[in-house]
Structure 1
Amino acid sequence: MSQLTYPIQGIPVDTGRLEPPTRKEITAWLSDTANAHQVSLFMRALTEFQQLSPTNDSLSYYRIAGIHGEPDVEWDGVGNPPGSGFAGWWCAHNKETFATWHRPYLALFEQRIYEIMRKIIERDVPAPQVSIWEEAAKEWRLPYWDWGARQKYLNDYGLPEILTKERIDIINLIHDSPPVNIVNPLWKFTNPTGEAMGHRSMGRFRLQGIPWNRARATSRWGIALNQDESTWTDGVNDWEEANEAIRTPSLIGWLPTSIADAVYRLFATTFSSWESFESKKFHNPPTSADYLSLEFVHDGIHSMTGGFERLGRGIGHMADPSVAAFDPIFWLHHCNVDRLATIFQALHENMWFDSASGVGDVPLDPFHRDASNTPWTSNSCRDWKASFKYDYDDFTVPGQPAGVAPRSSTLRSSSGDAPRDDERDLPTLKKRINEKYGVVRREIMNSPSMRGRENDYVINIVYDRYALDGAAYFIHFFLGAPPGEVSFFRHANSYIGSVYTFSSSLEERGRTVQCHSCLEQKKQGVLSTAQIPITNVILGCAKDSSRTSLHSMTPDEVESYLEKNLTWRAVIAIESHTTPALPAANLPFPQDPGDPLSAGLIDMTRIPRTKIYAMKGTVSHSENDFELSTYSDYTSMWRATAGKPGGAVRENG
């Protein structure tokens, strides 16, 4: 008899209810006093979840976080590769199933929180109040962090305010009792054994890579490899550095809008396929639009949240895929990634995996639909409402009672069949997208006298994620000379954006390699794509022509300006390994940690498959708030990149 598997089915919904509860933006959810019981239950359940045994409970926080990367163990009876008897990572990065793989993963996390909520209610809530708390548990869904929107406490882009508080007050389980002050479980995750996560007492569940194996708790911008370990082993949460990274100043002071602009373009861009929208995997030949992807935008948030200065301000778990899921913010981040995918699905309901490719039916290991070993697939979780019983607040009508169906309904059956006749209120959805993320759109529309404002400018990049045997690196872009000191790159007035590989070292450990998919992609020569929108930068430079010498947004003038000023530098980000992934003599960056002027700088010849294109397109911004902008007709500006290391030339096509 085969082993029973853990069924991931979402939080149960009462019979007769037409619509499931919604996942909500975390600050709005926390601020609404009507959700006080939900908030209290969530914080209590997450706290208890994090305290479950890493070694004895496969449904503990530690083990579920470990599905994404380390430790290299099987989960729910599935090895990786399946049937090999080996362990390994399952996270679907640089793959066509990036968005869909994370969907059941989030549902698993959400379901486990709910199960613990029910135990807390049964154990601790007095009988007269049980029904109130049970209703709160049924209505709860995982909140998301909308990193494309400004945070009210900052009036800028950054972490949600709840992520800046080490302790919080929640309502008491006993009616009319004072609030309870607890350690905020979103602040960090601490190994409940009290040992480092790589300690021998963790057995086969220990983490392997330095520095993660020496940490007892997760960090954000806290682990500096040139400092004593005692300063970071218990976890450091430097949320101010994370906020600084997210709202990095630039030449014109507007760069933080590039996050919102990238989100906006995810919905307004005409992608050639669903795979191109969700994954950064290079498809030859990609259209000019296909360089942007949900995964690429997601990668940048990982780096900005975790930290990326090995010898300076510090690194953190979120910046390395092998350990990112241990940081509680991972779940809020990926909830937003899933949200953006659902919005795209609503806007493009007929766009999905090509049935001939078979990708839609590939098992999303190690996740199961039932106790009988039936795996989830992309097709079976296409309809998030039917599959996992949640929706997002983007699709609700203000003032709509809970459980009442709006104009919209479920997109498709869980088998991935054709859409039903009912449709979502797409005009209202587009209006919300314009209001929330159309920052550059508004700037352009408010600049009627700017010559060439009908033009759009982006930098398209092809890069090799595994060029340094998986070691993570950045390519930073500038308009003007970059600073001499690497640690100042992102703080320079000339800085305009970055590509982050979000990768980990490919090193053999015993009889396996932790990221089998990564190793296979490296062997196959799989590349990745990225896109950095720079229209907002060009507009700002043209408005400040006395300082920048750019007087308009016309193509000839912009191309000449980029030819003279566009530069880039590659920099090593994180090395997480027990032994160097590259021999010291062959490392592509200086090995003197005492040399802050050059530490981490990569010679572009060490990442030879990099190709950087400067592109000009046309944009149409509709005056109708219920319609999105449209982008089209991109061509290369060869003079802007020719003769520069990694720069594309006309022969690249």
Structure 2
Amino acid sequence: MAKSFYPVVGRKCTGAVYNRISIEDMQQNHPHQFTLFILGYTAIQGKHNPHTSAVVQDILPAATYMEIAGIHGKPYQEYAGDRKKQEEKKADYDPADPKDTLPVPSRFGGYCNHGSVSFTTWHRPYVMLVEQAIGDVADRLAQALEANNPGEAGKWVQAAKELRFPYWDWAAPQVAEEGLPPVLIEDTVKILLPGGVTEVLPNPLSYYTYQGGVPPDFVNEQTRVGTAYFSKWPRTFRHSPSSENGSTDKEALQAAVKKVSTDIRERLALLFLYPDYHKDPARVYDEFSNTVNESREDLNAGNWGSLEGIHNLIHVIIGGNGHMSSPDYAGFDPIFFFHHSSVDRILALWEWCYSDYWMCEGYYVGEGEDRRLVPWTQERGTYAQVYNEQLEPSGNRGALYPFRLEDGEYWNSEQTRFLHDKAYPKYYSYDEFLGINVAKEASGPGARNKARRAIYGYYGRDPKETAAMREKESWGLIPVQPAEEAGLPVLFRGISNFRMFVVVARLPEHAFNRSYKFELHYNEGTASRFIGAAAVFARPDHSPCKACAKRRASGSIIRGVIPLPFSLVNDIITSSGNGGTTPTLETTASDITKRLSGALVDTAGKVLATAQGGEEAPIVPIGQLASSDVVPAEVALYTSAVAEKTDDMEYPVHLFDWQAHNSLFLNGWRAVAQEAF
């Protein structure tokens, strides 16, 4: 008997684990895989192609790109691969809620898992789903190619067996110079066919054209400079001008990607500088996994940043005035899944390095007899959950809707884990990175520690190396708390007269009724240098997403951490010491903050509000002040001391003694756009 649902099992039919590799590696070094991938992606998108016409008609609705992409937001209807039974449709009826009594907005509240400890785990079976759909098509195409070309036997079927969804590593060193690889941006792509023949095809990785027209519930979204015409555009665009015809501005796209590449790399490195011990692992996972940080009580506790925060910035810089910037439409841009395959790769590396950190059943508050467990209660999509329902890693409250397993049960967060006794087989791994194979257990803590150091060093943030480069005399009065007072583990000592500097931005999630970003700049004379950005990836108030509506009503705040480049801090401290005095931490913080400025920028790149750092900045006149509803809840300078292990100089450094310093923009935010007032 056929299942009424479409189970998400990845590439189970291959019976083996194979690596996800980068899209550049696949194109350059695995031409048979690449051909099958391009043709498979073309097929599930429903595009006409003579090579895939025989299999397109057999693709199940649940395996089509329109259905898969629509899970992330629009068109807010039940995913075809779920098909709940009537008795399952019960969770959240409320006669006082218009969603249950009026035809619009829809009773269906979506599958949103942003701003939650399940952000990481929910997206894992999501990428497996598109990997499975493409792989199933590739299997059939490979068999047909070998049947019709006996001389190619053994090439195509094996390539299909090994095919996994590739990733684009947005933090790779070459991104600063090259931006997006051409294969993800050009309108055509060349593939290899049997007999060594090549053919140029429309590129299914660059854009998606809606089959049967734009869905009727797609709605335009306003920006300061115009409109994202989601109701008119027949295909996806990136950095489009405000025009009903739409187009992708490739030059603007590449410039945006290159601009943030250094910031992205340093933020990613920070994720592997989390300490390797903590009395409450769930709190660590909360900060790492998402931008809301439900369990955070002490703002000074640590500021390593989150994987979701980096993810948000990638969405906004790729989308611009286009689909990737809007959560309701982002899934339709084919690059969405390359982005999330990369996010999943970082998660896999982090899991491998930090095997003891996990969401658990909740987090603990209090001490001694007053210590108690607090369950996760972040709002989620409401198709199957009551409002504010407890969120658990497994069981009935751990379901990752709409992704079902073969037995009809839903995936849960615990099953998504790698290398865990309750993990569900996923049939993919990632290519070896710095000696790390995420599909194999580490040989012990030493291997995990070595991997952490290799990763944060590769991405350009090795505090121990930068500390050795400082001008020691100028840094002479930068304080570090003694190791014993800070409660550091035995054999750790602080690196004297050295601290790392970061800026923490806490931003109202729904300030501008859409996605936007906070940009941090360093100013010297008339010159201004971009330092980094924190992005808000948000839906407008007309979106049917019930989880977002709940967060909007509660005034949710998201956190972003922007590392200050060591070279910049070192230059400021060194120049401050030229007057014959050694800078203190207080004078350094003052010198840094007065040279920083901030801007709130919309997805089209236009400035909404600005602010100048430091106490000496001009006070913004009352008539020009931006509204308190849209300006950041906090933008402040934080520092951390750095400790090394005295008996193992190759051990990862330990960040400790976090301290809050100056708020950057004490004299107000100046509204530049009308909507900022």
What's the TM-score, normalizing by structure 2?
A: 0.73
* 1:610-632 alpha-carbon deviations (Å, 9 max, x no partner): 12221121134789895433322
Is contact 2:74-2:329 (8 Å) kept?
yes
**Equivalent position of 1:269 in the other structure:** 274
For residues 1-16 of structure 1, the aligned pairs below 5 Å read 4-12=4-12
**Equivalent position of 2:493 in the other structure:** none
Is contact 1:473-1:500 (8 Å) kept?
yes
The whole-number CA distance in structure 2 between the counterparts of 1:56 and 1:134 is 22
Unaligned 5+ runs, structure 1: 201-205, 249-254, 308-314, 399-405, 412-420, 484-491, 508-512, 576-587, 591-600, 647-653
The whole-number CA distance in structure 2 between the counterparts of 1:446 and 1:217 is 52
2:558 corresponds to which of 524, 528, 539: 528
**Equivalent position of 2:125 in the other structure:** 104
Amino acid at match of 1:264: A
- Report the alpha carbon displacement of residue 395 of structure 1 after superposing the two structures with TM: 5.6
- Report the alpha carbon displacement of residue 542 of structure 1 after superposing the two structures with TM: 3.1
The whole-number CA distance in structure 1 between the counterparts of 2:579 and 2:257 is 28
Is contact 1:81-1:87 (8 Å) kept?
no
After superposition, the Cα gap between the structure-2 partners of 1:83 and 1:350, relative to the gap in structure 1 and judged at 3 Å, is same
After superposition, the Cα gap between the structure-2 partners of 1:605 and 1:316, relative to the gap in structure 1 and judged at 3 Å, is same
- Report the alpha carbon displacement of residue 606 of structure 1 after superposing the two structures with TM: 2.7
- Report the alpha carbon displacement of residue 237 of structure 1 after superposing the two structures with TM: 3.1
After superposition, the Cα gap between the structure-2 partners of 1:563 and 1:96, relative to the gap in structure 1 and judged at 3 Å, is same
Residue 458 (structure 1) aligned with residue 514 (structure 2): no
Residue 31 (structure 1) aligned with residue 62 (structure 2): no
The whole-number CA distance in structure 2 between the counterparts of 1:471 and 1:448 is 42
1:137 corresponds to which of 134, 147, 160: 160
**Equivalent position of 1:506 in the other structure:** 541
Residue 185 (structure 1) aligned with residue 204 (structure 2): yes
The whole-number CA distance in structure 2 between the counterparts of 1:340 and 1:386 is 19
After superposition, the Cα gap between the structure-2 partners of 1:561 and 1:397, relative to the gap in structure 1 and judged at 3 Å, is closer
**Equivalent position of 2:483 in the other structure:** none
1:630 corresponds to which of 645, 654, 659: 654
The whole-number CA distance in structure 2 between the counterparts of 1:142 and 1:279 is 24
The whole-number CA distance in structure 2 between the counterparts of 1:449 and 1:60 is 58
- Report the alpha carbon displacement of residue 242 of structure 1 after superposing the two structures with TM: 2.1
Higher strand share: 2
The whole-number CA distance in structure 1 between the counterparts of 2:359 and 2:134 is 31
Residue 350 (structure 1) aligned with residue 368 (structure 2): no
Residue 409 (structure 1) aligned with residue 409 (structure 2): no
The whole-number CA distance in structure 1 between the counterparts of 2:324 and 2:168 is 14
- Report the alpha carbon displacement of residue 496 of structure 1 after superposing the two structures with TM: 2.1
Residue 433 (structure 1) aligned with residue 455 (structure 2): yes
The whole-number CA distance in structure 2 between the counterparts of 1:156 and 1:442 is 27
- Report the alpha carbon displacement of residue 11 of structure 1 after superposing the two structures with TM: 0.4
* 1:374-418 alpha-carbon deviations (Å, 9 max, x no partner): 1111012123774311111146859xxxxxxx796268xxxxxxx
| Structure with greater Cα Rg | 2
After superposition, the Cα gap between the structure-2 partners of 1:621 and 1:558, relative to the gap in structure 1 and judged at 3 Å, is farther
Residue 280 (structure 1) aligned with residue 291 (structure 2): yes
Q: What secondary structure does 2:235 align onto?
A: coil
The whole-number CA distance in structure 1 between the counterparts of 2:209 and 2:574 is 49
The whole-number CA distance in structure 2 between the counterparts of 1:279 and 1:364 is 16
The whole-number CA distance in structure 2 between the counterparts of 1:355 and 1:622 is 32
The whole-number CA distance in structure 2 between the counterparts of 1:377 and 1:540 is 47
Amino acid at match of 1:365: Y
- Report the alpha carbon displacement of residue 229 of structure 1 after superposing the two structures with TM: 1.9
**Equivalent position of 1:338 in the other structure:** 344
After superposition, the Cα gap between the structure-2 partners of 1:306 and 1:14, relative to the gap in structure 1 and judged at 3 Å, is closer
**Equivalent position of 1:382 in the other structure:** 417
1:239 corresponds to which of 244, 250, 265: 250
After superposition, the Cα gap between the structure-2 partners of 1:526 and 1:434, relative to the gap in structure 1 and judged at 3 Å, is closer
- Report the alpha carbon displacement of residue 554 of structure 1 after superposing the two structures with TM: 5.3
* 1:510-565 alpha-carbon deviations (Å, 9 max, x no partner): xxx51110111223333221111114363364388499999988523321213422
Is contact 1:219-1:317 (8 Å) kept?
yes
**Equivalent position of 1:555 in the other structure:** 585
After superposition, the Cα gap between the structure-2 partners of 1:183 and 1:407, relative to the gap in structure 1 and judged at 3 Å, is closer
**Equivalent position of 1:569 in the other structure:** 599
**Equivalent position of 2:618 in the other structure:** none
**Equivalent position of 2:102 in the other structure:** none
Is contact 1:65-1:326 (8 Å) kept?
yes
**Equivalent position of 1:402 in the other structure:** none
The whole-number CA distance in structure 2 between the counterparts of 1:2 and 1:177 is 40
**Equivalent position of 2:226 in the other structure:** none
* 1:258-298 alpha-carbon deviations (Å, 9 max, x no partner): 21110000111248421211110143414542561110111
After superposition, the Cα gap between the structure-2 partners of 1:43 and 1:279, relative to the gap in structure 1 and judged at 3 Å, is same
Q: What secondary structure does 2:5 align onto?
A: coil
Q: What secondary structure does 1:73 align onto?
A: coil
Q: What secondary structure does 1:258 align onto?
A: helix
Q: What secondary structure does 2:189 align onto?
A: strand
Is contact 1:555-1:616 (8 Å) kept?
no
Unaligned 5+ runs, structure 2: 48-55, 94-105, 222-228, 363-374, 376-390, 476-496, 611-623, 671-677
The whole-number CA distance in structure 1 between the counterparts of 2:514 and 2:525 is 23
Amino acid at match of 1:382: R
Greater mean deviation of Cα atoms: 338-347 or 348-357: 348-357
Is contact 1:170-1:181 (8 Å) kept?
yes
The whole-number CA distance in structure 1 between the counterparts of 2:650 and 2:169 is 21
The whole-number CA distance in structure 2 between the counterparts of 1:208 and 1:133 is 42
2:136 corresponds to which of 115, 118, 137: 115
The whole-number CA distance in structure 2 between the counterparts of 1:148 and 1:207 is 32
Is contact 2:625-2:668 (8 Å) kept?
no
The whole-number CA distance in structure 2 between the counterparts of 1:81 and 1:494 is 54
1:167 corresponds to which of 163, 170, 188: 188
**Equivalent position of 1:324 in the other structure:** 330
**Equivalent position of 1:359 in the other structure:** 392
The whole-number CA distance in structure 2 between the counterparts of 1:641 and 1:338 is 36
The whole-number CA distance in structure 1 between the counterparts of 2:146 and 2:35 is 12
Aligned length in residues:
556
2:65 corresponds to which of 61, 65, 69: 61
After superposition, the Cα gap between the structure-2 partners of 1:14 and 1:570, relative to the gap in structure 1 and judged at 3 Å, is closer
Is contact 1:408-1:423 (8 Å) kept?
no
Amino acid at match of 1:43: I
The whole-number CA distance in structure 2 between the counterparts of 1:390 and 1:480 is 46
Is contact 2:119-2:308 (8 Å) kept?
yes
Q: CA RMSD in A?
A: 3.7
Identity %: 23
Residue 260 (structure 1) aligned with residue 255 (structure 2): no
